[in-house]
Structure 1
Amino acid sequence: MNGASREAQASARERFDALTDNTAVDAVKLAEELAAVTALLDREVSLRRVLTDPAQAGEAKAELAGRLLGGQVGGETVDLVSGMVRSRWSSSRDLVDAIEELASSADLVAAQRADVLDDVEDELFRFSRIVSGTTELRAALTDRVAGNQAKAELLSRLLGGRANPATERLVVRLVAHPRGRSLEAGLTALSKLAAERRDRMVAVVTSAVPLSDRQKQRLGAALAKLYGRQVHLNLDVDPAVLGGVVVRIGDEVINGTITDRLAEASRRMAG
């Protein structure tokens, strides 16, 4: 997001955090209702354009949102969405993206309250690895012909009883409503959102063999010192790295593998 949308999204996050700091607010219900609003605005293009029309007064747009959503969703959801449409957005899609993100965040709040946010983070990462490594599964979950109900039933068989309910809700929602994203991109975004929920960075660590607990602790401490904040480690094993580790944080890669050292030596010899 750029410009006005970034500011509007930041304001929405502040209101969301203030709302969900109240443990009396049902975070799971809030997630479901925000997801329903996302689906509505994603489907009704003309409506979302009206709600983001800069020529219309913010209060008028908030009143329209209240009339449309009142009685359909709870008061907290109405207030949150009404506040969002009062803001200025660079594009109508940005508003829908922001509401969808808050829906996911609400499920993560529920996981955090239950002290299972770490589990949800790990499950999202492991599921993304399974999807990327299983062609048949990815094809089934991204098949445009197959109905959402069939995909949900498949995910229920795969995740039901094996993953946290918050993880299952997040994945089912992503598969049912990808909104133009690849499945992998959607899972990566959810994983980052889960890490941000606790103000942590996500590092994908690839090593030739599984790291010991002591190695994980030392690596986590080193990365925390380097970046000035806690870093959550998502661990992957790939014998092709031939020893050492590859650490990817966002677009930055820290490569300490034997393969990389051999490649560097070859470049120097060639030079």
Structure 2
Amino acid sequence: MAGASSDSLAAVRRDLDPVLVSGGVPLASELFSALRTVDSSAPLRRSLTDPSWPVERRTAVVGSLFGDKVSAEALTVLNSLAERKWSRARDYGDALEELATIAVAASAERGGSNGGLDGLGRLSDELLSFNRAVEESHDLQRALTDPQAPASAKGNLAERLLSNGSSEARLLVRQAVEAPRGHKPVALIREFVDVVAQRQKQWIAEVTVARPLTPGQQERLAAALKGLFGRDLTLDVAVDPELVGGIRVQVGDDVVDSSLQSRLHDLQRKMAG
């Protein structure tokens, strides 16, 4: 996505995160079902994204179509998307797909230890293992992409391949093979893995220091970051002598930079300006 769509997706991801976290797999199932309805009608996509329509008219379309068919949480997501600006009509569906995937990832996150990192790692492993199995078998590739085969049959086959996989993994692979939205199923699953990886970054503090930290320093840093971000974080520490001094920490999109190098750059910018 680009332009207005990129900004809108970033905003709804931030604003709707509590809803997606609490909704988990049941909410994701509703959102994926709504996505199939949206994808089935070009006029519907245009009505949900037409910038000439007032917000009230676009949300009225959501209400008339989904109001008595989905939960209040799902309706909140659908309305929130309709309230935003989208560069292309398809971007509404792409955003809906990503939000559903985030809800699945949040469910895996809650079920893991070590904060949510283990659950997210397990979900990624399940999805990548499924892809490897498919990519190693031409028969499976043909079966899962056969345009003549019923979508439900392909979904059932995908679930059997997962054996004892988690409910989160089963939902995502079924979605990928039943409604790939113009992608190969394995390509869509890789996109799902990318969304999970973005979620994982929220549990990893990428720390850059000028000199190696002692175990005691790492413990104190971990405690300080927990107080700052409100959760336990896994430290990924790298040493960069060019940092000169101080420390740089990145957690997801958030950056805390107290390095001397950063302060020098700030001073240079002020002198130049």
What's 1:30 paired with?
27
What's 1:142 paired with?
145
Q: Aligned AA for 2:161? A: L
> Offset at 1:228?
6.6
What's 1:86 paired with?
83
CA deviation map 1:10-48 (0-9, x unaligned): 111112213235xxx331111011111100000011011
What's 1:126 paired with?
129
CA distance in 1, matches of 2:102, 2:44: 24
> Offset at 1:155?
1.9
CA distance in 1, matches of 2:9, 2:54: 18
- Maintained 8 Å contact 2:25/2:107: yes
CA deviation map 1:68-123 (0-9, x unaligned): 21110011111121111111100110000100111111111111111122211111
What's 2:244 paired with?
none
Which of 71, 75, 85 aligns to 2:72? It is: 75
- Maintained 8 Å contact 2:20/2:27: no
Q: Secondary structure at the match of 1:56?
A: coil
CA distance in 2, matches of 1:225, 1:104: 34
The alpha-carbon distance between structure 1 residues 109 and 225, as it changes in their structure 2 partners (threshold 3 A), is farther
RMSD of Structure 2 on Structure 1 (CA): 2.5
Deviates more, 1:175-184 or 1:148-157: 148-157
The alpha-carbon distance between structure 1 residues 175 and 224, as it changes in their structure 2 partners (threshold 3 A), is farther
The alpha-carbon distance between structure 1 residues 222 and 51, as it changes in their structure 2 partners (threshold 3 A), is closer
What's 2:201 paired with?
199
What's 2:256 paired with?
none
Runs (5+) with no aligned partner, structure 1:
202-219, 232-271
Task: Count residues in correspondence.
Answer: 210
Which of 105, 109, 113 aligns to 2:106? It is: 109
Q: Aligned AA for 1:187? A: I
Q: Aligned AA for 1:3? A: G
Q: Secondary structure at the match of 1:145?
A: coil
Which of 181, 186, 206 aligns to 1:184? It is: 186
Which of 160, 164, 167 aligns to 1:165? It is: 167
What's 1:154 paired with?
157
TM-score (norm 1): 0.71
CA deviation map 1:159-209 (0-9, x unaligned): 132x112111100111000000122321211111111112269xxxxxxxx
Aligned-residue sequence identity (percent) comes to 33
**Does residue 100 of the first structure (1) align with residue 97 of the second (2)?**
yes
Q: Aligned AA for 2:6? A: R
Q: Secondary structure at the match of 2:124?
A: helix
CA distance in 2, matches of 1:104, 1:225: 34
- Maintained 8 Å contact 1:200/1:229: no
